[in-house]
Amino acid sequence: MDEQTLVQAAQKNDLDAFNQLVLAHQQVVYNVALRMLNDLDTADDATQQAFISAYQKIHTFKGGSFQAWILRIVTNKCYDLLRSGQRHPTRSIDDASDDPDVDWESAALMRDDAPLPEEQVAQKELEAAVQHCIDELPREFKAVVILVDLQGMDYQEAAEIVRSPLGTIKSRLARARMNLQDCLHKFKELLPAQYRSESEGSHD
C-alpha cells in the first residue's frame, strides 16, 4: 500500500495502517528529536508522544507530505520540552558512548558500510562536536539546520515543517551555518583530517 492509502486507512481508525507509517518514519522522527533535545530518553519520549498525537489528529491531515506533517508534530513537541526545560540531561548523546546499555556495534550507526573502530571514534568525536555547537544555536536556527543539513531536506520541506516563509528559512540557515562554523572552529583539532584545512578559520 502506498502512503496515501495508509493515511486514508489510518483516518478510518485503522491502527495497523498507521503503524506502517510509524515504521516508515520513526527513524527520521527520532533523529530530529534527538538532535533537537540532545537527550536519549527525552528524544525517545518525544518520538512516542509525537506518534500518539499524530494518530489522534490524523483526521486533521489534509494531504501533502506525511513526513513533513509528522516532523512538524515532533518539532513542536521538542519546542515545548525545550521551553519548559523538561529535558532530563542524564543521558546526553555524548554520555551514551560510555553507557554499557548502548550497543555501539549495532545501534550506534545504522549504515550498512559500518566504519572501522578508529573511524567510529572519529565519527563520535565529530558527532559530539556538532551536537555541542547545535545546542548553542537559538531554537529557530536549530530546527532549520537539523532539517536541512543533518536530515538533507530542501528549503521547501523545512519551511513546511517549521511553518515559516521560505526567505526566513534561507536566512536562518545561513546564519546558523555561520554560527556553527565559528563554533566548530574551536573543535578543529578534534575533527577528522578531511574536514580541516590550513586556511580554515573564523570568518571574521
CB proximity list for 175: less than 8 A, separation 6 or greater: 141
Residue type at position 39: D
Q: Judged by CB under 8 A, which stretch of 1-9, 60-68, 135-143, 190-198 contacts another protein? A: 190-198
Q: Give 116's DSSP letter.
A: P
Q: Site for another protein (CB under 8 A): which residue of 121, 150, 163, 186?
A: 150
Q: What is the DSSP string of 125-170?
A: HHHHHHHHHHHTS-HHHHHHHIIIIIS---HHHHHHHHT--HHHHH
| Stretch (H or E) spanning 185 | helix 166-185
141 near another protein, judged by CB under 8 A? no
Inter-residue contact 155 to 170 (CB < 8 Å): yes
Q: Cβ atoms within 10 A of the Cβ of 94, count?
A: 15
Smallest separation, CB 163 to another protein (Å): 20
Q: Site for another protein (CB under 8 A): which residue of 36, 37, 137, 148?
A: 148
Place of cell 486514508: 8
200 near another protein, judged by CB under 8 A? yes
8 near another protein, judged by CB under 8 A? no
- The Cα–Cα gap between 178 and 102 comes to 33
Q: Site for another protein (CB under 8 A): which residue of 84, 98, 165, 193?
A: 84
Which residues inside 23-52 make contact with another protein, applying CB under 8 A?
A: 23, 26-27, 29-31, 34, 40, 44, 47-48, 51-52
Contact residues for another protein (CB under 8 A)? 15, 18-19, 22-23, 26-27, 29-31, 34, 40, 44, 47-48, 51-52, 55-56, 80-81, 84, 86, 93, 106-111, 123, 126-127, 130-131, 145, 148-150, 152, 154-155, 170-171, 173-175, 177-178, 180-181, 184, 191-192, 194-195, 197, 199-201, 203-204
